[in-house]
Structure 1
Amino acid sequence: MILGLVMLQLTPEWRKSASGYTSNQESQPVTVLMAVHQGASHLEEQLDSLTAQEHEHWQLVVSIDGEDDGCAKIIENHAASNRISQISGPGKGAAANFLHLMRQVDPGNYWAFSDQDDFWLPHKLSRAIERLEEVSWNTPAMYHSRCLITDDSLDNHRISPARPKPPSFANALVQNIAGGNTIVLNPAASRLVHAAAQDVDDVTVHDWWLYQLITGAGGVVVHDDAPSLLYRQHGANLIGANDGMRARARRLRMVMDGTYKGWMETNLKALKTCAPYFTPENRRLLRRVMAARRQPLAVRMKMLREAGIHRQTQFANSIMWVSVALGRL
């Protein structure tokens, strides 16, 4: 592990991600929200990477979901245990566990979201906060970045896909571009998210909902093309990295078998609840998309094209329009 990290520091991706900012240890406090389920095998390494952050002003809240496989003991024995709080999860899966954290944790700090099995690069929080501090303090803003996808041993690194088009609500309605393990919210966004989460029953995944909520409310989404963490891929990943032909084939199957339509229905129900927080323009866009899904094919295609919904790449757009044509959006 240590040797692999040293070798990684020599790569162009690492040098790119570690350059172009100045670390400020006196900057704002960060609350890290971590949802845990059967995570004992990799949790200690993730806690170590958090402890090694150049930005030192952080605290961690861990929500342990379901039967504990030893995570509580790992946390209690860790060198940073005095900075970690534990709560019990709702026992309804990862998305519900993250929503539970957003409801329970006090807003007003920067919020960062953490998986249980990744490995943060040392500059992750410093870089995110520096970028977010460029946004007006009273504007909700969300940072996210690319990552280095690895195997279970944190080896065989490849960078996650680029995001060529600007973030927008029209994109967020039909695609998630923000990996939750890279997301950091500014204090204004943490207040918005905390308030909105109180009334939302269910979301497909928490990071997609965050992207939709922040853009829908007219907030700022800051995409960083440099990686901020090592994203560990293994058999227990909930969704996994969305790159490569195998991932594309999996996404197409999800359209064909109705999975994607189910995701859309869950998301739209949550967004309808959140609509009071949205700009008038985005409330109209949400209503138009919801109405279009119930129309005959020709009307449905016309309404959604005029709405401007889109995904990030030509291939992804093609899959989206297939789903529209089949009535599975």
Structure 2
Amino acid sequence: MSTYNGGEYLAEQLQSIADQTHQDWRVIISDDGSSDNTLTIARQFQLKWGSDRLQIRQGPQQGFCLNFLSMACDATIYADFYAFSDQDDVWMADKLERAIAYFNDNNESQLPRAYGSRTQIVDEALNPVGFSPEFTLPRSFRNALVQSIAGGNTMMFNQAAKSLMEQAGLQKVVAHDWWLYQLVKGAGGIFYYDPKPALFYRQHTHSVIGANTSLKARIERIFFVFNDRFKIWNNLNYTALCNNRHLLTKDNQDVLDVFGKFRGAKLKDRIRLLEVCGLYRQTWRGTLSLWLATIINKI
């Protein structure tokens, strides 16, 4: 769990972990320099649960992504499975049980495997607002290059996936969840997307990342293409993947190479190479924005 000035909702999130039907867990909180009562609340739960169940450490104070990666890349943290947790959500009681059941039913321990799900979007008072999109297209490296499909707050992954992140090390990427999706699929692993929501995803004025389901958010994502945001994101992730191409399968190394060529090509070649590369997003709106970004050279 990455925390930063999350005292307003932290107790509810921690209590939802305590209320899980699966009880074999421990929590590591990496705090990024909170100035509110976040650490006070965390220490209260540590006293209640014991330091063996709740560890508190100091984060790198370079943003939420590196805070999460500082834990995911730490080889001294070892468990059967790992889950990212935000500080302000509320987990459904069977969140861990359902994810672990998936892993136990698909127990190839050497294969990098990750799990993510939809979310029930709620307001500050936990009143239902809607659901995150349900994605139905295949989860692949060709998709992962241009889209993150599940929030980190829903994700669980096995030791083989964590070993990938450890080998990659602390990279400057857009987000820890997108990076996990790219690494797992790039290395030939499995990413399972559960269409059933696993948590209440709270939207409030201090949310670091929103649910991006409103009309306003969809319009803003289109403008990301025009203001270079999408291109900047791709620059970061592409560089990190190139730094770790040895972790990718040969086929996905080839896809990454075509992706690099296509980003710097002339218009007619970009359109051709986009088809050769086989990139796609999970919705028609996303695919439309991908083609738009290709045409105006903003990818």
The TM-score with structure 1 as length reference comes to 0.87
1:173 to 118, 141, 145: 145
Per-residue deviation, residues 4-48 of structure 1 (Å, max 9, x unmatched):
xxxxxxxxxxxxxxxxxxxxxxxxxxxxxx011111110000000
| 1:127 is aligned to 2:66 | no
Residue of structure 1 equivalent to 2:84: 113
How far did residue 137 of structure 1 move? 1.8
Distance in 2 between the 1:59 and 1:144 partners? Answer: 20
The answer as to 2:58 corresponding to 1:68 is no
**1:16 corresponds to:** none
User: Is 1:204–2:174 an aligned residue pair?
Assistant: yes
Confirm whether residue 218 of structure 1 aligns to residue 221 of structure 2.
no
The 8 Å contact of residues 73 and 162 in structure 2, kept in 1 or not, is answered as: no
Q: Which residue of 2 aligns with 1:50?
A: 17
Aligned match of 1:275: 245
Q: CA deviation at 1:238?
A: 2.1
Q: One-letter code of the match for 1:63?
A: S
Query: What amino acid does structure 1 have at the position aligned with 2:286?
Result: A
Structure 2 residue corresponding to 1:310, chosen from 255, 264, 280: 280
1:164 offset after TM fit, Å? 1.6
Letter in 2 for 1:74: I
Contact 1:64/1:89 (8 A) holds in 2: yes
Tell whether the 8 Å contact from 1:108 to 1:190 is kept in structure 2 after alignment: no
Answering whether residue 89 of structure 2 is matched by residue 89 of structure 1, we say: no
Residue of structure 2 in register with 1:37 after alignment: 4
Distance 2:90 2:79 in 1: 26
- Once residues 223 and 276 of structure 1 are traced to their aligned partners in structure 2, the CA distance between those partners, rounded to angstroms, is 26
Aligned 1:209-288 pairs, distance under 5 A: 209-288=179-258
Letter in 2 for 1:212: Q
Amino acid at match of 1:152: E
Q: Is contact 2:3–2:34 with CA below 8 Å preserved after alignment?
A: no
Provide the alpha-carbon RMSD of the alignment.
1.2
Displacement of 1:261 in angstroms is 0.7
SS of the counterpart of 2:244?
Answer: helix
> What secondary structure is seen at the aligned counterpart in 2 of 1:130?
helix
Equivalence for 2:49 = 80
Counterpart selection for 2:154 from 166, 176, 182: 182
Partner of 2:128: 156
> How far off its partner does 1:209 sit?
0.5
Whole-angstrom distance in 1 between the partners of 2:194 and 2:287 = 22
Give the AA of the match of 2:261.
Answer: A
Looking at structure 2, the residues matched to 166 and 116 of structure 1 have their Cα atoms a distance apart, in angstroms, of 30
Identity of aligned residues (%): 37
The corresponding residue for 1:28 is: none
| Alpha-carbon separation, structure 1, partners of 2:290 and 2:145 | 11
Q: Tell me the secondary structure at the aligned position of residue 235 of structure 1.
A: coil
Task: Write the distance in 2 (CA, Å) between the matches of 1:242 and 1:164.
Answer: 18
TM-score (norm. length: structure 2): 0.95
Cα distance in 1 for residues equivalent to 2:158 and 2:59 = 24
Partners of 2:221 and 2:55 in 1: CA distance: 37
- Which runs of 5 or more residues in structure 2 are unaligned? none
Per the TM alignment, residue 159 of structure 1 is displaced from its structure 2 partner at its CA by 1.6
> 1:37 is matched by which residue type in structure 2?
Y
- Tell me the residue number matched to 1:18: none
Q: Secondary structure at the match of 1:227?
A: coil
One-letter amino acid matched to 1:109: D
**How many residues were matched structurally?**
294
Counterpart residue identity of residue 268, structure 1? Y
Quote how far apart the aligned CAs of 1:191 are.
2.0
Quote the Cα distance in structure 2 between the aligned partners of 1:204 and 1:244. 22
Distance 2:204 2:152 in 1: 17
Q: CA deviation at 1:81?
A: 4.3
Q: C-alpha separation between the residues in 2 aligned to 1:151 and 1:113?
A: 21
AA matched with 2:26: Q
Instruction: State the Cα distance separating 1:108 from its structure 2 match.
Output: 4.5
1:218-239 CA-partner distances (Å, limit 9, x unpaired):
0011111100000000122223
Q: Which amino acid aligns with 1:267?
A: N
Measured after TM superposition, the shift of residue 117 of structure 1 is 0.2
